Structure 1
């Protein structure tokens, strides 16, 4: 398991509930799914038939996480809780990415070829979010819980809502331990700005 040290370290770095090495290795489904994927992916690249998909389905049965063996995943991925996470065949996931439960990196139809997203480094994707199609999510970005992302996301951005709307956190890198409650919503910001303008106009009319 020492060869998966970066993934184990990611758990301790990003999950305050992690208590011991043994607990993380034996009880963290996200880590177990990732280890199984590394094996399945290696076999897939060796063009071994059938077995990679079998391993991915066995992993899905035991962990609730479905990762296609062809998906390319960088070091330091942390899948928190894991249940319901789906990573499609042509997905490319960068380094130090965090995925919360129920995240889907999926396609948008029956097209062939590259049809799943590219996720940059240090990206956080919140609970239940769907990132769909051959799009790119830039480095250091944050996808809010239950957002549906169908278009490219620039680096250092936050995306919220359905469909996903992009806002920026003052151009700063998003903290991987971001408080999910305090995420800027561009629509709400616009409404609040409009409300302030209406109040100013009412004052001037009086």
Structure 2
């Protein structure tokens, strides 16, 4: 149990730059609280303690603003950011490393018994306010834009936007992996960056990553040719660049500014 909790906390740091320390995550992330309570209510549900399971689920909704039916199946490292207004139905199935933002509904479109809620495969991201309805599947690595209404399957690595949602891109896994590798090399999180993303900033970042990937390949080929001709170039690896280092510098600078302000005496 504790290993799963540690895994959950680590997943928060991987996906939310606002998380500063473990204590803050444990005490101030209602999405995590809802998931942890759900694990207990889900076990009760599986053992036919239906009333107790539903009661615990209702308490969790009151406490966190997140409603997860105890019958829903959640994968590992599932993360609900902010949490308020999230609704997950009874037959919903969620894979590993899935991220939901506030106001998301994984709902049904039928009153008939049986499978009536969505299935989210691994590494899916659902934007704030999105509605994913019916026994549909969001494929691995799929993304759903904020406030979209999805009523049909979304292929793997595709992005769905609009009401009703339509597929705006469907990149191959190899193309996606290439972009992710370049992003990691330069210490950048490529979340929700796609060539066809309607967000102009995200689109520009995606194009920059593609450009850097192409330039890296050309420089590597050039170095190889020069070395074959007897030269000695590109022998040293580039230093690793981590965005976290810059964030830490900014935090330290902010603390220094606060110290100067607190020490300032207006009567001098």
Task: Please give the range of the TM-score, normalised by the shorter of the 2 chains.
Answer: 0.7 to 0.9
| Aligned residue among 188, 192, 203 for 1:178 | 192
- SS of the equivalent of 1:42 reads helix
In the alignment, which residue of structure 1 is the partner of 2:203?
A: none
Asked if 2 retains the 8 angstrom alpha-carbon contact of 1:98 and 1:176, the reply is: no
Asked if 2 retains the 8 angstrom alpha-carbon contact of 1:14 and 1:176, the reply is: no
* Post-superposition CA distance 1:60-100 (Å, at most 9, x none): 00100000000000001110000000000000000000000
Measure, in 1, the Cα distance between the counterparts of 2:85 and 2:76: 21
Measure, in 1, the Cα distance between the counterparts of 2:100 and 2:132: 11
In the alignment, which residue of structure 1 is the partner of 2:56?
A: 55
Divergent runs of 4+, >4 A = none
In the alignment, which residue of structure 1 is the partner of 2:237?
A: none
TM-score for the superposition, normalised by structure 2: 0.65
In the alignment, which residue of structure 2 is the partner of 1:142?
A: 143
**Relative to structure 2, which stretch is displaced further, 86-95 or 48-57?**
48-57
Unmatched 5+ residue regions in structure 1? 186-206
Asked if 2 retains the 8 angstrom alpha-carbon contact of 1:97 and 1:123, the reply is: yes
1:111 matches 2:112: yes
TM-score for the superposition, normalised by structure 1: 0.84
Measure, in 1, the Cα distance between the counterparts of 2:12 and 2:38: 17
1:46 matches 2:60: no
**Structure with greater strand percent:** 1
Asked if 2 retains the 8 angstrom alpha-carbon contact of 1:31 and 1:78, the reply is: yes
Relative contact order higher in (CA < 8 Å, ≥ 6 apart): 1
- SS of the equivalent of 1:167 reads strand
- SS of the equivalent of 2:40 reads helix
Measure, in 1, the Cα distance between the counterparts of 2:11 and 2:190: 11
Measure, in 1, the Cα distance between the counterparts of 2:74 and 2:167: 25
**Structure with greater helix percent:** 2
- SS of the equivalent of 2:160 reads strand
* Post-superposition CA distance 1:8-48 (Å, at most 9, x none): 11111100000110110111000000000011001111112
* Post-superposition CA distance 1:137-188 (Å, at most 9, x none): 10001100011000011101000000000022533448772269x8249xxx
Larger-gyration structure (1/2): 2
Unmatched 5+ residue regions in structure 2? 181-188, 200-268
